[in-house]
Amino acid sequence: MTLPERVSAYFDAIRARNGEVNAFVRTYEAEAMAEAESVQRKIDAGTAGPLAGMVMGIKDVISEKGRITSCASGILREFEAVYDATVIERLKAADAVLIGRLNMDEFAMGSSNEHSIYGPTRNPHDLSRVPGGSSGGSAAAVAAGFCDATLGSDTGGSVRQPAGFCGVVGLKPSYGRVSRHGLVAYASSFDSIGPLSRTVEESARILEVIAGEDAHDMTCSRKPVGEYVAATRQSIRGLRIGVPDEYFGEGLDPHIRTRIMDLVARFEADGAVIVPCRLPHSAYAIATYYILATAEASSNLARFDGIRYGHRAAKLPAGDESALLRLYKQSRSEGFGTEVKKRIMLGTYVLSAGYYEAYYGKAQRVRRLIQEDFKRAFSQCDVLISPIAPTTAFPIGEHPDDPVAMYLNDIYTISANLAGICGISVPAGTHPDDGLPIGVQFMADAFREEDLLRAAAHVERIREA
C-alpha cells in the first residue's frame, strides 16, 4: 500500500469512529494527502527522511504554525500558532505526515481527558472508560487505529498513564532530552514531549528524530543523541532490573501486581539480574508534585490575561475595581475550566507571602530527596520496573468530586518527572476481570534511554513468544 493510500485509510477510520472516541479535535485531510504524495515521491526516489511513511497526530498543546493550538481550553479556543515547535520542525524534516490535532485535558492538567472544551475522549477498548490523561487523545488515536503514532506531553505521567490505559507504548524522555520550544507550558521544570506508538521501535525512531540540542530551549541538553533503535534489538542479558518495594504495596490491583511479577520472573529467566531496592521518599511524591507543579502553573498561566491573545471578555461586571482588573478577572473566569482554576489557585496560595517556605520551599527540598533516592537506586541497577497505575482504566465520571482519588492515578509516574529521569509504558497483557490493557513501566537514569528501550522491547518479545 502506498503512503497516500495508507493516509486515506486512516482518514476513513477517523470518519468511521472518531465521533465516539473523540481523539482528534481537528484534522487536515487535504494538506495531509498532498504531503503524503510528496513524501511518496521521495520514497520512490530513495531520498526520503527517517520517518517517511509514518502518519502522526499532535497533542493540542504543541505549536504548529497556522494551526489552532487551543490546549483544549476556552481561553485559547481560536488561537492560531505563529511558529512550529522544534519537534514539529524535526518531524517535518524527517518526512513524517501530520494529519491533525488531538484532544487532551485542558492545559495538560488531568489524568482522565475529561477536562476539555471538546468533551471527553473515550477509551477505544471500552467507550465507558477513560483513556487516561492528559494525553488521552494521543493514546486513544493510536489504540483506535487512527494513525501510526502521536506526540504527547508528560508533566507527571501524561504520556505513560494513558499509554498504559489504552494498551500502547508511551515514552517520556529525560528532562532536557527533547526541546520544549513550542510546547505550551504547564510546569516548566517537569514538562517533557514524548511519542506514543504501537511498538517500542516506533517510539525509538521518533525519539532519534526529535531529541537533541536546541538553541531555542536553554534547558535542552547538548548530550549526543543515542542509537535508540539499535537499543531495542539488544539482549537484556546482564541488565540489572530494580524492583522498588514501595511500588508494589497497598492500593495496587492484585492482578496487576501478579502480571508484573510474572514479567520480573521471565526477565530473570532470560538473563536479567533482579535487584530489590528502595525509594523511601515515594510516599511524599504526590504532595510534592502538586505543590511544585501548581506553583509553576500559576506563574506560567498568568500570561493568559485577556489582553495580548486568547479569549477576552466581551462584557465586564460592575464593580469598584479598575476596568483593567475586571477585564483580567472576567476573561480568566470565562476562559479557564474548573480543574485549571483549581490548580492556579493552589499554586498561587503556596507561593504567597507567609506560605512560601512552609509549602514551596519544603517541597523543593523533598524533591531533592526523591532525586537522591533514584541516584542510589541507579547505582545498584540499570532500570526500575513498576506498575503504571493502581488499576486499569476507570469509568468516565467516577472521580468528579474526589480530586485526591484522581491524583493518585499518577502515583507511580510522578516521581520520574520530579527526578528528571526517563520512563516508558509498555503493554503487558490484559486484566482477567475487565479485559482492559495492563501497562508496565520502566524507568532509567537521566539520558539512559538506551537501557529503558532494551527492557521495554524485551516485553514485546515475551508477549510475542
Whether 339 and 389 map to the same domain: the answer is: no
Grid cell for residue 408: 493518585
CA proximity to 194, closest of 148, 134, 151: 151
Residue 444 lies in a domain: yes
What SS3 state is found at 444?
strand
pLDDT of 389 reads: 97
Residue 366 belongs to a domain: no
Instruction: Read off the pLDDT of residues 306-334 as tens digits, 9 standing for 90 and up.
Output: 998 999 999 999 988 999 999 999 999 99
Same domain for 44 and 102, yes or no, is yes
Say how far apart CA 3 and CA 159 lie, in whole Å.
27
Residues 69 and 162 in one domain: yes
Backbone phi, then psi, for 351, in 5-degree steps?
Answer: -95, -5
Assess if residue 367 is contained within a domain. no
Q: What is the pLDDT, as a whole number, of residue 320?
A: 86
Is the pLDDT at 155 greater than 90? The verdict is: yes
* pLDDT at 371 (0 to 100): 98
Pair (182, 264) in one structural domain:
no
Given 328, 358, 388, the domain boundary residue is 358
Q: What is the DSSP letter of 359?
A: I
What backbone phi and psi angles, to 5 degrees, belong to 33?
Answer: -65, -40
Contact assessment for residue 371 and residue 365, using Cβ atoms and an 8 Å cutoff: no
**pLDDT, position 119:** 98
pLDDT single digits (tens) 242-276: 999 999 999 999 999 999 999 999 999 999 999 99
Q: How many residues does the chain have?
A: 465
Residue 354 pLDDT grade (very low, low, confident, very high; cuts 50, 70, 90): confident
- Grid cell in block for residue 428: 503487558
Contact (CB, 8 A) for 383 and 452: yes
Host domain of residue 38: 3-231
Which of 231, 252, 268 represents a domain boundary (last residue)? 231
Q: Give dist(CA 208, CA 83) in Å, integer.
A: 22
Same domain, 303 and 256: no
Q: How confident is the model at residue 402 (pLDDT cuts 50, 70, 90)?
A: confident
Which three cell numbers mark 30? 487535504
What's the pLDDT at 399?
Answer: 74
- Residue 92: what are its φ and ψ, rounded to 5°? -65, -40
Quick check: is 107 in a domain? yes
Of 231, 262, 297, the residue that ends a domain is: 231
- Number of domain units in the chain: 3
- Provide the greatest CA pair distance for the chain: 73
For strands 383-387 and 240-244, give the pairing: parallel
Rounded Cα gap, residues 344 and 339, in angstroms: 9
Report yes or no on 193 lying in a domain: yes
DSSP letter string over 175-218?
A: TTTB--TTBPPSSTTT-EEEEEESSHHHHHHHHHHHBS--TT-T
**Are 63 and 184 within 8 A, CB to CB?**
yes
Give mean pLDDT, residues 188-213: 98
Q: List the one residue out of 3, 71, 86, 88 whose CA is nearest residue 37.
A: 3
Cell output for 26: 481537528
d(CA 398, CA 408): 13
In this structure, is residue 305 part of a structural domain? Answer: yes
Beta partners for 24? 102
- One domain for residues 210 and 146: yes
What are the tens digits of pLDDT across the range 56-109? Answer: 999 999 999 999 999 999 999 999 999 999 999 999 999 999 999 999 999 999
What pLDDT is stored for residue 188 in this prediction?
97
> If 0-12 CB within 10 Å is exposed, 13-18 middle and 19+ buried, where does residue 184 land?
buried
pTM: 0.97
Q: Is the domain of 214 the same as that of 256?
A: no
| pLDDT attached to residue 103 | 98
In the chain, the percentage of residues whose pLDDT exceeds 90 is 95
3-state secondary structure labels for all residues of 129-160 = ECCCCCCHHHHHHHHCCCCCEEEEEECCCCCH
- Do 171 and 307 share a domain, yes or no? no
Q: Write down the mean pLDDT value for the chain.
A: 96
Question: In 379-448, where does DSSP find H-type helix?
Answer: 403-407, 414-419
Q: Give the per-residue pLDDT at 67.
A: 97
Residue 97's DSSP bridge partners are: 55
| Beta strand spans in 325-435 (E) | 383-387, 422-430
pLDDT of 406 reads 79
Q: Which residue has the cell 513468544?
A: 465
Q: Show which residues are catalytic.
A: 59, 134, 158
- Cβ–Cβ < 8 Å for 98, 90: no
Beta strand extents in 49-126 (DSSP E only): 55-59, 97-102
Using DSSP, how many helices (H) and how many strands (E) does the chain show?
A: 15, 11
What CATH number does the domain containing 60 carry?
3.90.1300.10
Residue 368 in domain? no
Given a cut of 90, whether residue 424 has pLDDT beyond it is yes
Output the pLDDT for position 75.
98
Q: Does the structure show a pLDDT above 80 at 401? A: no
pLDDT over 80 (residue 403): no
Alpha helix ranges (H) inside 82-133 = 86-93
C-alpha cell at 44: 520512490
**pLDDT value for 259:** 97
Q: Are 251 and 121 within 8 A, CB to CB?
A: no
Is residue 365 one of the residues assigned to a domain?
no
One domain, residues 256 and 303: no
Residues 257, 194 share a domain: no
pLDDT the model gives residue 404:
73
Spatial distance between the Cα atoms of 25 and 106, rounded to a whole number of angstroms: 13
Whole-number Å distance between alpha carbons of 9 and 32: 12
Q: Does residue 214 sit in the same domain as residue 324? A: no
On whether the CB atoms of residues 417 and 192 are closer than 8 A, the answer is: yes
Inform me whether the pLDDT recorded for 465 exceeds 90. no
* Strand 24-27, strand 97-102: pairing: antiparallel
- Which strand (E) or helix (H) includes residue 362? helix 362-378
Same domain, 305 and 424: no
- The answer, yes or no, to whether residue 405 has pLDDT greater than 90, is no
Please write the tens of the pLDDT for every residue from 163-178. Answer: 999 999 999 999 999 9
